[in-house]
């Protein structure tokens, strides 16, 4: 949050950050945190001439921040984050060595129908599974890149 509130993304709008564990619980407190920032912190900072972020927190989550599924193999939780921030900001991830690849990939494959609905459709399911990461990391063709 310090990167956001201290204006790092305002000064470097192309900078990208990846948060694990479905956003480290930040998406669930985003409204309250933004409310506090807008109504208390920003007016105080402006009155003192301090640097503070200029846009609502959600702007940075939709433009600078990606969120991974690492360690959170819950379709309901993914749906919440997707509805709030968007499928284009979510990356499939496992959190190895703390979670087993088989557990994460098993969840993603076995719950494909529900995840597809939660994410907004078949393209979003593929995007979260691999295409968002390929785009973010500018990955070209590689073995099984279209599997």
Q: What is the pLDDT of residue 128?
A: 98
- 123/11 Cα distance (integer angstroms): 33
Burial status of residue 89 (CB atoms within 10 A of its CB: 0-12, 13-18, 19 or more)? buried
146 is a catalytic site residue: no
Q: What is the mean pLDDT of residues 91-107?
A: 96
Catalytic choice (29, 95, 109, 146): 95
- 128/147 Cα distance (integer angstroms): 14
Task: Report the candidate in 33, 32, 53, 31 with the shortest Cα–Cα distance to residue 42.
Answer: 53
Would you say residue 147 has pLDDT above 80?
A: no
Q: What is the pLDDT of residue 21?
A: 96
Reduce the DSSP state of residue 68 to 3 states and report it. strand
Record the pTM. Answer: 0.93
Task: Report the candidate in 41, 36, 63 with the shortest Cα–Cα distance to residue 51.
Answer: 41
Please report which confidence band the pLDDT of residue 146 belongs to, taking 50, 70 and 90 as the band edges.
confident
């Amino acid at each position: 949050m310090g990167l956001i509130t201290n204006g790092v993304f305002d000064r470097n709008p192309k900078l990208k950050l990846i948060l694990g564990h479905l956003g480290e619980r930040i998406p669930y407190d985003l409204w309250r945190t933004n409310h506090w920032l807008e109504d208390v912190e920003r007016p105080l900072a402006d009155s003192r001439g301090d640097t503070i972020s200029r846009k609502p927190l959600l702007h940075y989550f939709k433009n600078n921040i990606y969120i991974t599924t690492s360690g959170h193999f819950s379709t309901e939780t993914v749906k919440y984050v997707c509805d709030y921030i968007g499928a284009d900001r979510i990356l499939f991830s496992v959190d190895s060595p703390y979670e087993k690849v088989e557990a994460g990939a098993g969840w993603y494959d076995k719950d494909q129908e529900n995840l597809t609905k939660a994410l907004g459709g078949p393209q979003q399911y593929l995007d979260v599974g691999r295409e968002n990461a390929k785009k973010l990391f500018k990955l070209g063709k590689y073995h099984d890149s279209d599997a």
